[in-house]
A and B are shown apart, each in its own frame.
Chain A
């Protein structure tokens, strides 16, 4: 599969259609892993790989937060269906237009969060959790497709993970999240890996006023994690990168999915499917639910 990808990338670079290809490459020191790479030379397309270890969401390299990539010129990006959802969201938020980008879509049957889990065969056990209900195994939009089209998973999102926690008592939920947030070391890896955290100046870094305390203690950690989730409400495409990169294993995608569920239930909206749709928090309906307001 990597071969087809390399041919497409070489042609794009040789014809000068793009100046850089953002893709995954092998890690020499650890064959179980892949890493994001930028290819600018047609002779180096052999570096590009595509397999279930290619878990990174590369859409993050298209934003203004990674302006050094933007400076290289027009980009082609290798993207799974879920990554294309992030790209769709970024186009919707007018970070760039569809014409500024060549999408090399890859047909995907699932990825593994830890590369060592995949040794040639993808099973229910080693497949990443985010792939359970995947309806974008073939990307919804692309310029070139690597591999044969794959039908979506025959199951609808049941929000089981979110509902399990919702059924607990408030006290249990509080204790659960405190146990999680207590470990947060405020490294902001979740923010750096997120395609939608593209603010040039994050609220967590603002000091006048200092809205979110910078210290690594329970009160500050709760504030950061709440506000991070809130800033992604209605935007997050649940790619799960925040959770994957978290060095202390906080289930951040669970928080994101709670909000995604509410947006889906309340406003019938799922992020990442339609770049023309108005973002749910940039619009309103007069008949929106207000049963919680007295």
Chain B
């Protein structure tokens, strides 16, 4: 368990090395499975474990239900980092959903890396229903890594669909 004191000093350290603008906090979207990781996160909560509040949890039945398009949508919606988390191999409520997801995401992260996404922005974990403490560690680590990278400005800039128009002065100069 993290004490309040050590937490605040950690936060100060993070502020010093922060990349983003003043007051910026990373937005992390976590896609988790209903049976293991969500229960693990719940355990972290009922155990009163403290962790960074940057994560938005989206619960799905199984990691096998997490389509890569969800992750793309998360980035489009302004996420700076995405975490996908589910049951350990062998523990899947539906026997094999996480095995299929493992293959799919092994490929998807390679594809994202190939188009130039830093893989610290797309992370994966297995967190069981008994691993509340692991959930805390994972979230703190993911958040810190994304914090070190700063806001995902490359992706967010894509939302600007217009092109920069030269100002009047530049047009005059050209004329």
Interface of A toward B, CB cutoff 8 Å: 165-166, 170-178, 203, 211-213, 215, 217-219, 222-223, 226-227, 229-230, 233-234, 255, 258-259, 262-263, 266-267, 280-281, 284, 286, 288-290, 292-294
Q: Cα distance A267–B106 when bound, in Å?
A: 11
Q: From residue B143, how far is it (CB to closest CB) to chain A in Å?
A: 14
State the majority secondary structure of interface residues on B. Answer: helix
8 A-B contact pairs sorted by A residue (CB < 8 Å): A173-B114, A174-B115, A215-B161, A222-B158, A234-B107, A258-B110, A259-B107, A294-B138
User: Given the complex, which residues of B lie within 8 Å of A203, measured CB to CB?
Assistant: 69
Chain A CB count within 10 A is highest, among B114, B119, B141, for B114
Q: CB-CB contacts of B91-109 with A at 8 A, as 1s and 0s?
A: 0000010011011111111
Chain B residues in contact with chain A, CB under 8 A?
68-69, 72-73, 76, 89-90, 96, 99-100, 102-119, 123-126, 138, 141, 154-155, 158-159, 161
For B124, the chain A residues whose CB sits under 8 A away are: 292-294
Query: Nearest CB to that of A233 among chain B residues?
Result: B107
Contact of A294 among B104, B108, B123 (CB under 8 A): B123
- CB-CB under 8 A from A293, the residues of chain B are 102, 124-126
How far, in angstroms, from A187 to B100 measured CA to CA in the complex? Answer: 32
A45 to B118, CA, bound (A): 55
Extra inter-chain contacts (13) besides given A213-B76, A288-B99, CB under 8 Å? A170-B116, A176-B116, A178-B158, A215-B161, A222-B158, A223-B76, A226-B68, A230-B111, A234-B107, A281-B104, A284-B96, A290-B89, A293-B126
User: Are the C-beta atoms of A170 and B118 separated by less than 8 Å?
Assistant: yes
Q: How close is B62's CB to chain A, nearest CB, in angstroms?
A: 14
**Which residues from A are CB-within-8-Å of B126?**
293-294
With A219-B161, A258-B110, A284-B102: A211-B73 Cβ-Cβ less than 8 Å:
yes
Complex Cα–Cα for A221 and B126 (A)? 32
Complex contact A255–B111 (CB within 8 A): yes
Dominant SS at the A interface? helix
How distant is the Cα of A175 from the Cα of B111 in the complex, in angstroms? 15
Chain A residues with CB under 8 A of B96: 284
With A223-B72, A223-B76, A230-B108 already in contact, the answer to whether A165 and B102 are too (CB < 8 A) is no
The residue in chain A whose Cβ has the minimal distance to the Cβ of B83 is A294
A173 in contact with B109 (CB, 8 Å): no
- Given the complex, which residues of A lie within 8 Å of B114, measured CB to CB? 165-166, 173, 255, 258
A170 touches B113 (CB 8 A): yes
User: Which chain B positions have C-beta within 8 A of A281?
Assistant: 100, 103-104, 107
CB distance from A292 to the nearest CB of B (A): 6
Nearest opposing residue in chain A for B72, CB measure: A223
Inter-chain CA distance A172–B125, complex, in Å, is: 28
Beta-carbon contact of B161 and A259 below 8 Å: no
CB distance B138 to A211 under 8 Å? no
Given the interface contacts A227-B72, A284-B100, A290-B102, does A171 sit within 8 Å of B116 by beta carbon?
A: yes
Known A177-B116, A218-B161, A219-B161: A280·B103 in contact at CB below 8 Å? yes
